[in-house]
Every structure is written in C-alpha cells, then in structure tokens.
A and B are shown apart, each in its own frame.
Chain A
Amino acid sequence: MIHFENVGMRYGMGSEVLKDISFNLKPGSLHFLTGPSGAGKTSLLKLMYLAHRPSRGKITMFREDMAGAARKDLPKFRRKIGVVFQDFRLLDHLTAVENVALPLWIAGGKGAVIEEHVEELLTWVGLKGRMKARPPTLSGGEKQRVAIARAVIKRPDLLLADEPTGNVDPAIAKRIMHLFVELNKLGTTTVIATHDMGLVEEVKADRLHLSDGILQLIKAGQSLPETTSFDPAEFETTSLDQNEYGPLGYDGEDDQ
C-alpha cells in the first residue's frame, strides 16, 4: 500500500526534517505513528496524504510512483485517502453535514445518497443534534468528530489521522478508535499519529516511531529499542489479526 525508500524531506532550503525514511505498509495494516513533538510526524503524514513532495527518495502508493506523479493525477489518489488533520481544517461557512459531505460531493455523489450516509455517520459519532451547526459554534471535541467523519465517510483505502483523539474525552476517544479499527478491519490501511500511549497500548498495533527525523519500527507490545539501527528487510508490517472491539453502527458502505 505504502512504500517509502530512502525518503528525505525538507521545507524550502532548510535542513531535512525527515532523513532516509524507508518502510513498507501492507494493505489493511494499522499503525500508530509516535514520537516527540517536532520529530516529523506531521511532515511524514503530509508526504502520505500527498500535500508535499519528498526532496529525495522514492514513494510508492497504490502501486504508483508518487514522488514523480504528475500534478493532474494527484486528485484521483487523494480521493482514496482520508485525512484527519490535527487542526481539523473544517470549512467554517459550511454546516457539519456539508463538511462531512464534501468528499462524496467532490467524487460526484448524488444529494440524497450523500445526505443519508452523512447523517448516519454524524449520528454515530454523537452529533445528531448538531448537524446544521457550523464549526465556529462547535466545541473542540465536536469539531474533531466532524473532521473524523469527513475523513472516513468515503471509506478510504488509506486513513491518516493526526492526533485524532487529542480533544475528546476518553469515552469518545475509545468510540473513535472503534471506528478506526472497524474501518481497518474492512480493509482500510490506517496510520494514526498520537501522543496517547494508553491508546497505543490498548489497540496493540505496530508503531512507527519518529525521532529527529529518523524512523524506527516497534512491534506491538514492545518498547522502544535502545539502538536506532534499521533493517528494511524486517520493516514489513502486517494487518491486525484480532482486536477487542465489536462491530460498530457505521457499516462503512457507500454508493461511490
């Protein structure tokens, strides 16, 4: 699904924020992306959601070379990716329903079908009574749930979430994780950047750990290794076989 090979990234003429990043995420896998603030987690996610080009190295996603992909081809790949931004990036003049409906509308979905799916999902994330509310009137947690709903509404092939549970209470955080895990079970490759180690421990997924722009793989249940040496041959990831969560209200199906 995602293959990075010796990828480096810098902003403008600055120093590299990501150095020699190499990994391979199998389709349907779930990973946490951890690391201290400023380690490059958001930059790595930017490369994965095609908002930035690497300064060197090779990125293969959806079996296509992304580093050299033509600009006009990027939208079709972006439509396969759902992103939960750390700062939500909701459109303030649109209602919660319209914000969540945007990916379906962009993909050419029809009004009635869109409305049905969006309302179902917003109800599931606990925003039934806030569907017509606009982001400036929503709390941080509500905005986050709208942002998550927007990212998952199209049941993307790849879901990238930047601190998706940062602004919600533990109960909602657990519910959101249910949704991510359930989507992952349905085949969505998932990468969740988080500082919440409790969540990481609970889900028992492999971890991509970034520190000073260098990436390490930590298998589920293991702690951070003392060495930073990296063997790409071992850096293969697998899907979650089991998880403790039951089925969710959202069935992930749509008509797109």
Chain B
Amino acid sequence: MTKAIHFLPDEETHEATRLLPYVMAVMVYLSALALMGSMMLNKGFGDMTESLSNRLTIQITTADAEARNAQVDEVTALLRKTPGIDYVRKLNEVEIEKLLEPWLGKGNVTDDLPVPAILDVTVSRGLTLNLDAVRGMLAQVSDNIHLDDHQQWLGRFLRLMDMVEYTALGILLLVVLATVCIVIFGTKAGMAENREIIAVMHHLGAQDSMIARAYQSRFMKYGLKGGIIGLVLAFITLVSLIYLSRDLAEGLVRIPELPVVEIAVLLVIPFLAALISMLTARITVLRGLGRMV
C-alpha cells in the first residue's frame, strides 16, 4: 500500500477539470506575451531615448549651397568653442540619403532637391547646456539655422512608453483575474463532482485542511503544467515575431533587441501560476467546506 491514499479520483477521469491545464496555458501565454512585449518595447525605447538624450541636431536650410556651406563651417567652429559640447559633425550626403530613403525611396534624392545640411552635436554627459544661449548664438549667424534637442519627440516617446507599460500591466491583471476565476470555477466543479467522496471523508473524521491539501496539490500541478506550456509557446511566438518583423520593417523601424536577462525573469511565471492556482483552490475548498455541516 502506498504511504498516502489518493482519495480523489485520478484527474484524467475528471471531465470538469481535465482541460484546466490547457486553459491555464492560454492564460500564461497571454500574460507572458504582454510582459515580453512590454519589456522589449521598454528596452527599445530606453535605448532610443538614451541615444538621443545627449544629442542635438542642427539643420541649416539656407537654399544657396555656398552660403549654406559657409554657415556650416561657422556654426561648427562656434559650437566647438562652446563649453559642454564634445563633438560636432556634419552628416555627409550618403548619410542624409539614407535618412531620407524610407520616405523617398532609394536613389530619389536628386541634386535639385533642397536638402538641408545637418550637424550632429554631442553634448557632454552630466552637464546642462544652456540651449537658449546656443539658439541665440545660432540666430546671429542666420535665421535659417534650426536647433532640435529632440525633447518634443522624446516627450511623446516617454508618454507612449508609459502607455505601453500600463497596458501590459492591465492585461496582466486581467489575465490573473481570469485565471483566478477559472480556478475557482474548476475547483467548485471538482468539489461538486466529488461531493460524495468529500462527505465520506468528513464522516471518517478528515479535517477540512486534509481535503483542501488534496485539491491545492492537484491545482498546483495544473498551474505548473499550464504555466510551462504557455511560457514555451509565448517564447516561440515572440522569437518568430521578431524574426518576421526584422525582414518586414527593415529601415523604417528599429526592432528592439530581446532583453535576455529581463526575459529570463519570466521563467518564474509557471511557478507564479502554480502558486496562484494552489492558493485559489485552497481558499475555495476551505470556504466551500465551511458551509457544510
């Protein structure tokens, strides 16, 4: 005789709860995708804002090419003398063409197209540059010189980042809530199915906690099984999406890298699913039994 008697029938014979691990897998799949997506976008946005946080772009839109080149030299000299500016570089034609390529197509930047000169400026980290003073200095050279510190664009980006994160968090909460509801439903169905067995166990002197242990252990297994299946499927989906989108979006959008360390944290999801499932089942069983004689 085995040490413990499994007084609940084998789960394979349980119509009510047999499919539960697969429902759990779907729930974990959705929550893992939401989290992974959020992490990837966060990392991608973070990289972008990081790369722009100490950069300025200066556009010189003077139509006459000679005057424009003279202004480029003058502005470059002025900026190089300005404290807090590390590096000033004029983008060459190839670089500008590449920037315009997603919008105009390859080879469509012709000589008669008025393309501004662009200066890429790197500001020292840790120093706050007086941008108004720089703007004033540039205005003295020409009214056709425009300074872009990317703040407007970065602000929008940060708001988008927040929205994506809150959306992912919302999805996660909804999925957890749905999972809890499914486990409650499954536990109640399982208890209804085994009503007679529970009654016999009570008559024989079993404590509620003994009956609850049998259910919580069963539902913990469901959670773990569903969690592993869901997470594996989510990884496969994510890797496939990244692979496909790299081909499709090349040049237009930079696909964020997979943040390996952060994504590795998601390995705890199956254990969390098991824990949520186990605790929900335990509470449901104890509450249900508490209503019996």
Contact = CB atoms under 8 A, between A and B. Distances in A.
A53 B196 contact: no
A103 B205 contact: yes
A74 B292 CA distance: 12
Contacts of B290: 71
A106 B199 CA distance: 14
Nearest to A111: B3
Interface string B175-211: 0000000000000000000001101111111111010
A72 B276 CA distance: 26
Interface residues of A, number: 32
Interface in B246-293: 290, 293
Contacts of B3: 111
B10 interface: yes
Interface in A96-115: 97-98, 101-103, 105-107, 111, 114-115
A83 interface: yes
Nearest to A103: B204
Contacts of B207: 75
Nearest to A52: B293
A138 interface: no
Interface in A66-111: 71-72, 74-76, 78-79, 81, 83, 89, 91-94, 97-98, 101-103, 105-107, 111
Contact of A75 (B7, B196, B205): B205
A23 interface: no
Interface of A is mostly: helix
Contacts of B201: 102, 106
A49 B5 contact: no
A156 to B, nearest CB: 10
Contact of A94 (B7, B199, B203, B206): B7
A114 B293 contact: no
A197 interface: no
A150 B9 CA distance: 19
B197 A91 contact: yes
B163 to A, nearest CB: 50
A52 B196 CA distance: 15
Contact of B203 (A51, A105, A107): A51
Interface residues of B, number: 24
B1 interface: yes
B204 A93 contact: no
A93 B7 CA distance: 8
B9 A107 contact: no
B140 interface: no
Interface in B199-246: 199-208, 210
Contacts of A72: 208
Contacts of A101: 1, 5
Given A52-B293, A53-B293, A71-B290, A106 B205 contact: yes
B260 to A, nearest CB: 46
A211 B205 CA distance: 30
Contacts of B7: 91, 94, 102
Given A91-B7, A93-B9, A51 B293 contact: yes
A52 B1 CA distance: 33
Nearest to A82: B204
A107 B205 contact: yes
Interface in A22-80: 49-53, 71-72, 74-76, 78-79
A91 B13 CA distance: 14
Contact of A98 (B1, B202, B208, B293): B1
A101 B2 CA distance: 11
B200 A75 contact: no
Interface string A178-217: 0000000000000000000000000000000000000000
Contacts of A105: 4-5
Contact of A79 (B4, B13, B197, B205): B205
Contacts of B10: 93
Nearest to B207: A75
Those 10 A-B pairs whose CB atoms lie nearest each other, nearest first: A79-B205, A78-B205, A93-B9, A75-B205, A115-B1, A111-B3, A89-B200, A106-B206, A103-B204, A105-B5
22 contacts: A51-B293, A75-B206, A75-B207, A78-B202, A78-B203, A81-B205, A83-B203, A89-B199, A89-B203, A91-B7, A92-B9, A94-B5, A97-B1, A98-B5, A102-B204, A106-B204, A106-B205, A106-B210, A107-B205, A111-B1, A111-B3, A115-B1
Interface of B: 1-5, 7, 9-10, 13, 196-197, 199-208, 210, 290, 293
Given A102-B5, A106-B205, 18 more contacts: A50-B293, A51-B199, A51-B202, A51-B203, A75-B207, A79-B204, A89-B199, A89-B203, A91-B197, A98-B1, A101-B5, A102-B201, A102-B204, A103-B205, A106-B206, A111-B1, A115-B1, A118-B1
